[in-house]
Each structure stands twice: as C-alpha cells, then as structure tokens.
Amino acid sequence: MNIIKTPEEINSMRAGGKKLGTILKELLFMSTVGVNLLDLEKHAKKRVQEEGGQPSFTTVEGYPFVTCLCINEEVVHGMPRNDSLCDGDILTIDIGMIYQGLHTDTASSICIGMKDDKKELFLKTGEIALEKAIEAAIAGNRVGDISYAIQTTIEAAGYHVVADLTGHGVGRVLHEEPMIPEYVRGDIARTSLLSSGMTLAIEVIYAMGKGSICYKSDDGWTLESKDRSLTATFEHTIAIGEQKSDVLTERDI
C-alpha cells in the first residue's frame, strides 16, 4: 500500500479530523461524576452519524463500538459497558472516524471530579510528550525520533511507556505502516524515514507503574496494567510536512 497521501486526501482527513476533534471535545466535557459509559458511546455514535462519518473501530473484526473507553488501570481497547464514572477516575476516550473514505484517530485522558495534583501531573506529562513527539514528526526525521521524544519525556517524569503498544500510520485504513513504538528500538537511523504526505496516528501510552500489560478479562479486548497502576493515552492524527507536521485532529481547548 502506498502510504503517501495526496493533498486532496489530506484535505479530506483534515475536514474529518476537525469533526472528530469536536466530537472528542464534547465527550470529554460530558465526562463527569455519575455519567455512564454507555451514554458516552451513545453520544459518540450519534455525533459521528450527524457529521456524515462512519465509525473507524467497527472496521476492526469483532469490535462493535464507536469508542474505546478505559478507566484507571485499563490501558486500551476498553469496551463501553454499564459502568458510571467515579470521583478521581482517570478516563481515556479513544475514537476514530471515517470521513470521505479516510480514517482519523484521536484520544485523550482526563481526571474525573476533584483535581488531584499527582494525577494532573501524570496527565500533563502525557500531553507534553505528545507535543514533543509531534514536533519530531517532520520530513527527514525518522520514526525513532518520535519514539525517542515519547520515551524520554515520559521516563524523565518517573513514569513508564507501555512498550507492547504502538502508534501507527492511518488514512485509507485504520492501521497502516509504519508502526510507531513508544520507545526507541535499536538504532534510530535504521527506523523508517518520515516523508511529506505520510499521515500518522501518534499515540503516547504510558503508566504510573512499570508499563507491563495483560488482558483484563475474557472479553478479548481490554488490556490493563499488570501492576494495576494508573494509565493514560494521548493521541493525534497528523500529516507530515517539511518544516512541521499538521495536526489534523486538533480541538479547541
């Protein structure tokens, strides 16, 4: 598959990404103490349809939901269920949308209810790591430069990346090449070269604990931290440029 997108394709992804960013912003705003995860999923499904899109995640065989919703030690692929948010929970919302035939993918984590300095610092670190990763994602750099930015920022704050998970290319399908590890695997110079027109879903996935993961239950999807430490994820879809990358799923604060 040719992973370089045309300017027209990137424009479509930008339009879809803007819509997706707005939907995620709405979901984060809705996420307060007592809100049921099924209500978040219901709103996401409704809004994706209203925006003229289709859910990305249902293109993954066997996954029936528009969102992945993870709480606390749950890392990724949490299935929406009949649970309500509690004060102090860390909630991660991950959502993808197909618009004009092209996928975008984005995620964010927040602390529910009363602010907790320790958790807020944990979440801020992930936001900063994503910013640094995006800064490194320019033509002429390599995938390893993105991984380096993520790993060094997370580890400098005393946390650990989830080494078993990755970001990925995105666009014509939900998961394209290249895979983008959370840590540097060997020589950066041997990792994939970044070129203008590539579109990537850069993900910062990390934990307060050691970062090792396992399946939570027999649902076959939800992964959690083995030590049950808190986790978070921050993700944007970007288009690689010569001087800087273009964040396609940016949302207003």
The residue length of the chain stands at 253
Q: How far apart are CA 120 and CA 221, in angstroms?
A: 27
- Cβ-based neighbours of 115, under 8 Å, separated by 6 or more: none
* Backbone dihedral angles phi then psi of residue 176, each to the nearest 5 degrees: -115, 170
Torsion over CA: 18, 200, 145, 244 (sign) = negative
In contact, 230 and 207? CB cutoff 8 Å: yes
Q: What is the pLDDT of residues 158-180, one digit of tens each?
A: 999 999 999 999 999 999 999 99
- Helical H runs in the chain? 7-30, 37-50, 117-136, 143-156
Look up the pTM and report it: 0.97
CATH code for residues 7-247: 3.90.230.10
Q: What is the pLDDT of residues 80-120, one digit of tens each?
A: 999 999 999 999 999 999 999 999 999 999 999 998 999 99
Dig out the tokens for 143 from the structure. Answer: 């995938």
Rg of the chain over Cα atoms, rounded to whole angstroms, equals 17
Q: What is the pLDDT of residues 61-81, one digit of tens each?
A: 999 999 999 999 999 999 999
Dig out the tokens for 31 from the structure. Answer: 């996420």
Q: Domain residue spans in the chain? A: 7-247
- The number of CA neighbours under 13 Å toward the Cβ of 216 is 18
**Left, alpha or beta for 42 (phi > 0: left; psi -120 to 50: alpha)?**
alpha
pLDDT exceeds 80 at position 218: no
Q: Rounded to whole angstroms, what are the CA distances from 56 to 115, 171, 172?
A: 32, 10, 11
Give the model's confidence band at 45: pLDDT under 50 very low, under 70 low, under 90 confident, else very high.
very high
In contact, 85 and 91? CB cutoff 8 Å: yes
Whole-number percent of the chain with pLDDT over 90 = 96
The residue type at 5 = K
In contact, 102 and 13? CB cutoff 8 Å: yes
Give the model's confidence band at 2: pLDDT under 50 very low, under 70 low, under 90 confident, else very high.
confident
pLDDT at 217: 81
pLDDT at 110: 98
pLDDT at 253: 58
pLDDT at 144: 98
pLDDT at 145: 99
